[in-house]
Amino acid sequence: MFTRLDHVGIACADLEQSILFYRNTLGLEVFHQERNEEQGVVEAMLRLNGTDDGQSSYIQLLAPTRLDSPVGKFLRSHGPGLHHLALGCPDVDAVSAAVGDKRMNVLFRPPRPASMGSRATFLHPHECGGVLIEIVTAAG
- From the candidates 39, 55, 83, 134, give the one annotated as an active-site residue: 134
- From the candidates 60, 78, 126, 127, give the one annotated as an active-site residue: 60
Sheet strand arrangement including 30-36: 30-36, 41-50, 56-64, 4-11, 81-88, 133-137, 119-123, 112-113
Q: Confirm if 115 and 56 have CB atoms less than 8 A apart.
A: no
- From the candidates 7, 39, 55, 83, give the one annotated as an active-site residue: 7
- From the candidates 32, 43, 124, 126, give the one annotated as an active-site residue: 43
CA distance 46 to 129: 26
Active site residue 60: yes
Active site residue 7: yes
Active site residue 126: no
- From the candidates 39, 55, 83, 84, give the one annotated as an active-site residue: 84
Which residues are annotated as catalytic? 7, 43, 60, 84, 134
